[in-house]
A and B are shown apart, each in its own frame.
Chain A
Amino acid sequence: MNILEIRNLTKKFGDFVAVDNMSLSVREGEIFGFLGANGAGKSTTISMIATLLRSTKGDINLLGKSITSHGKFAKTNIGIVPQDIAIYENMTAYENVRFFAGLYGLRGALLQERTEEALEFVGLGDKHKSYPKNFSGGMKRRLNIACAIAHRPKLIIMDEPTVGIDPHSRNYILNSVKKLNEMGCTIIYTSHYMEEVEEICTRIAIVDHGKIIAEGTKEQLKAIITDTKDIWIGIKANESLSIEHLKQIPGVIAVRLEENTVKINSKGEINNLNKIVQQLIKDQIEIRSVEEQAPNLETVFLTLTGRNLRD
């Protein structure tokens, strides 16, 4: 069953189209990864799902109900972890979580229980009375998450929850995302970090210029680019290297030199490794190593969007 369905979603800021006719569905129980470079439109999409922004066009349904006509229902069932930390510095960790959970209708003993539970969950169980202004970046990020989960939403949207934090906090957060998922929450996870997305997400959408340009499991995404391969050849010196000679070899698409590594992108079905090596020997290049790269999401992203995930 789909927990979230987005159809033909568009958001314009003036003439600028931030989200462009996007359609997407997220199934219940998924950890859905949202990959995209800066300005791709991830946060804008998320804001519309969380009813923080009105769409210019298109529909969003949560659990089969339109979020426009069932705003309160949508809000109650969504927990959002904003990209920028959103907590009160002059209120304790406990008061922060309690206040936001209270807005979701929790009261009394239940409110207290859920607040403690959420803090415990993000590893701040011993920091009830501490003020966030004395927290490290990672602790603030974790409190930012606690504030979004205490009301036990069905769908948790995390917008880059691991930006700029230490490895310990990052691991903690990744583990809590998995744990939340095991407890039955569906999660939409946005990140700049390919490894994170690869590690935890069950399905991934690649967003560029407000459009979804690829969608699927990581295996499916990698399969998109099996028609090409990357060959990296380590060489001793590059004075006599002729990139032009290499490009004339059948199947070779692109050649670039990075320090003393020749990186060749070539058609997958043509076996041209012998020819490449022969050409290098002919040009009197001393070969140190040859390796064929397994496709990863980074290359998928690069191939599809023509740019790196991080600038």
Chain B
Amino acid sequence: MNILNIAIKEIKAALREKGTFVFMLAFPVILMLILGTALTNVFSSNTPVGNIELLYKNEAASPQLTQYWQGFAKAIEQEGVKITPLAAGTDGKLEISEDRYSAYAELSNEGITYYGSSKQTIESNILQGMLTTFADRYNMAAAALKSDPSKAEAIIRNASAPGEYIRETALNPDKQPGSIDYYAMAMTTMIALYSALSGTFLFRGERIRNTALRLMAAPVSKGEIFAGKVIGCTLINLLCVLAVVLISKFAFQADWGNHFGMVFLILVTEVILAVSLGLGLSYILKGDTSRSVVMIFLQIASFVGGAYFPIMGTDSFLGFVTNLSPLRWANKALAQIIYNDNVAGALPAIGLNVGIAAAFLLIAIISMRRQEAL
């Protein structure tokens, strides 16, 4: 009952702090808008693919290659690629540089020379992927022909099945986040981590206001005070985080996938982690130091954790550092849930959140029991 009273007081008092709300709600939402709009091009999968037009010239003497090519051409035409042979007297490279086709390919006995349009990058990339597959297959067939002609036949016959090239070029195998989707997720996890700030202030605030004296003078145990405050603080921060999720979902149509329960669990554990971290540090580092340390940590963790731009490679030193950011593992887990429907992929992050939170809570509890005041 006392725990509940204290938790409610904590939430009520926090609801009155307009500054906190501006920070916890407006800040992530505005950043989401700015970054999500400004960096749209970084997330190319969101760019619509235009008509794909391939211009080609076949100078191959080998009937095998020609036959194989025709099979390939037929297959990709069915996928919507428009194929045009180079008209006599025109310059294929010129056609490309003037952006009339997506790509230009020259077949000869030496192989395929490929020219992609620099303007239609996506279309040209798709064609390049298809042609690479084609060349690989042809090489394989050619090699097989020497040892086992019947196998080569099969490879070539297969080559004309529609869909074959599309799948292999891996056009868009998984669902991928658009920029708003990405920043909705990244800003949400970032602001969840910022709960650490209220963690550092949780008991320091009571000490500064002298209300710690009143709490200690009342017939309430330290444990009840602790539990009430931690629960209240977690709930109020979680409320902000969920509000950010809802705003991003309904105002910006951000994609949060289909596993809300799991997304929720990640966010809950992250807020608990953040609050415990701030709280633990406020006992390890006395005074204002904890706040500064947490602030620096939050900035770095946000930066390397992918709050401002997506982090790709993880093999370098930077890669190692990024993995230390709770945002990194939260974002990874959320991406697994939202885009790959991989719910189990979130479990390591949840485990990590809970484990680290427990460690910091323990530090706070032990320090608190040792000292006389709160």
A residues engaging B (CB < 8 A)? 50-54, 71-72, 75-76, 78, 80, 82, 84-91, 95, 99-100, 102-105, 147-148
Contact = CB atoms under 8 A, between A and B. Distances in A.
12 contacts: A75-B217, A75-B219, A80-B213, A80-B214, A82-B214, A84-B210, A86-B211, A87-B209, A87-B211, A91-B9, A91-B12, A100-B214
Given A76-B219, A99-B9, A100-B214, 7 more contacts: A75-B218, A82-B210, A82-B214, A86-B214, A95-B12, A103-B218, A104-B219
A88 B210 CA distance: 9
B219 A91 contact: no
A76 B219 CA distance: 6
B161 interface: no
Contacts of B218: 75, 100, 103-104
A294 to B, nearest CB: 40
A91 B16 contact: yes
A266 to B, nearest CB: 47
Interface string B69-112: 00000000000000000000000000000000000000000000
Given A52-B372, A78-B217, A103 B13 contact: no
A99 B5 contact: yes
Interface of B: 2, 5-6, 9, 12-13, 16-17, 209-211, 213-220, 372-373
Contacts of A84: 210
Nearest to A83: B210
Nearest to A105: B219
B210 A85 contact: yes
A88 B217 contact: no
Given A53-B372, A84-B210, A91 B13 contact: yes
Contacts, number: 63
A90 B219 contact: no
Contact of A103 (B12, B213, B219): B219
A95 B10 CA distance: 12
A147 B9 CA distance: 15
A71, A75, A90 interface centre (most CB from chain B within 10 Å): A90
Contacts of B17: 90
B5 A88 contact: no
A85 B213 CA distance: 10
Nearest to B8: A99
Contacts of A54: 372
Contacts of B12: 91, 95
B16 A90 contact: yes
A50 B372 contact: no
Given A91-B9, A99-B5, A105-B219, A86 B209 contact: yes
Given A82-B210, A103-B220, A88 B13 contact: yes
Listed from nearest, the 4 A-B pairs whose CB atoms lie closest are A86-B210, A103-B218, A75-B219, A90-B16
A80 B372 contact: no
Contacts of B220: 103
A153 B218 CA distance: 11
A95 to B, nearest CB: 7
Nearest to A103: B218
Contacts of B13: 88, 90-91
Contacts of A76: 219
B205 to A, nearest CB: 9
Contacts of B219: 71-72, 75-76, 103-105
A190 to B, nearest CB: 15
A51 B214 CA distance: 11
Contacts of A85: 210
B9, B217, B218 interface centre (most CB from chain A within 10 Å): B217
B217 A89 contact: no
B5 A86 contact: no
Nearest to B220: A103
A24 B219 CA distance: 25
A271 B170 CA distance: 117
A74 to B, nearest CB: 9
A100 B216 CA distance: 11
Given A53-B372, A103-B2, A147 B217 contact: no
A4 to B, nearest CB: 15
Nearest to A157: B217
A85 B214 CA distance: 10
A161 to B, nearest CB: 14
A187 to B, nearest CB: 16
A51 B5 CA distance: 22
Given A95-B12, A99-B9, A103-B5, A50 B211 contact: no
A286 to B, nearest CB: 56
Given A86-B209, A86-B210, A87-B211, A52 B216 contact: yes
Contact of B217 (A80, A90, A99, A102): A80
A86 B213 contact: yes
A50 B16 CA distance: 31
B202 to A, nearest CB: 14
B145 to A, nearest CB: 82
A54 B2 CA distance: 24
Contacts of B5: 99, 102-103
A82 B213 contact: yes
Nearest to B214: A86
B104 to A, nearest CB: 69
Contacts of A147: 214
A205 B211 CA distance: 28
B219 to A, nearest CB: 4
